[in-house]
Amino acid sequence: MENNIIPSESSNSRFVPDIFDDLEADRARLVEHFRAPKWLAPGYGLIAAAYVSIPAFPDEPTGDFVLIAAVIVGFLLVGNAYRATGIKISRFGAREWAAFAAAVLGSLVLHSVSLGLASLGLRWWIAASASAAFVLVLWLTRLIFSSLRERLRNDR
């Protein structure tokens, strides 16, 4: 039976360290539960690969469609990841923002490379830059998630 009566300050002090130990143990259990769904990082990798491969499709409607679909799928992945883990963490720290910026910049640079390859008529080589984007964003997404896990473990 739970005791909701507030103990006196002196008796309280006897179990305060136990209270903090309980909170730490709960946090550790929550971190164990916070695992990235297997499809999350590959999903973002595919989005980046799709964006980088846009120059392979010279007609504008295809490029626009890929871009809009990539943005929508990106949001759906976040929503589904929240549902799969049952945990919502939206606050990014410096490390997560840096990784996110690297993913965006890397994708932009590789998109430019694809544009260059397309202008030179080397359309099949765009598959290489798209693969590079996939690997880069896959790795950075995993980095962001593990960084969020570490922050959840150590946040005070």
Partner 1 sequence: MTADGIFNEVIHAPLRLRICGLLRSVDELDFAVLRDTLGVSDATLSKHLKALVTSGLVTSTKMASASRADSRRITWLRLTAAGRSAFDDHIRALRKISAGFDILDITDSRS
The C-alpha R_g of the chain, in whole angstroms, comes to: 23
Among 19, 71, 101, 122, binds partner 1 (CB under 8 A): 19
- Amino acid 17 reads P
14 is a site residue for partner 1 (CB under 8 A): yes
Nearest to 143 by CA among 94, 73, 86: 94
Distance separating alpha carbons of residues 54 and 101, to the nearest angstrom: 20
88 is a site residue for partner 1 (CB under 8 A): yes
Size of the site for partner 1 (CB under 8 A): 31
Smaller CB separation from partner 1, 12 or 62: 12
- Amino acid 102 reads A
**Site track for partner 1 across 94-133, x = CB under 8 A:** ----------------------------------------
- Quick one: DSSP state of residue 121? T
39 is a site residue for partner 1 (CB under 8 A): no
Is the distance from CB of 144 to CB of 100 less than 8 angstroms? yes
81 is a site residue for partner 1 (CB under 8 A): no
Nearest to 36 by CA among 155, 141, 154: 141
Distance separating alpha carbons of residues 68 and 50, to the nearest angstrom: 11
Is the distance from CB of 140 to CB of 103 less than 8 angstroms? yes
17 is a site residue for partner 1 (CB under 8 A): yes
Region 127-156 residues binding partner 1, contact defined as CB under 8 A: 152, 155
Please choose, out of 17-25, 57-65, 101-109, 113-121, the segment that lies near partner 1 by the rule CB under 8 A. Answer: 17-25
Beta-carbon contacts of residue 122 (< 8 Å; ≥ 6 apart)? none
72 is a site residue for partner 1 (CB under 8 A): no
**Contact set with partner 1 (CB under 8 A):** 2-4, 6, 9-10, 12-14, 16-17, 19-20, 22-23, 26-27, 29-30, 33, 82-83, 85-91, 152, 155
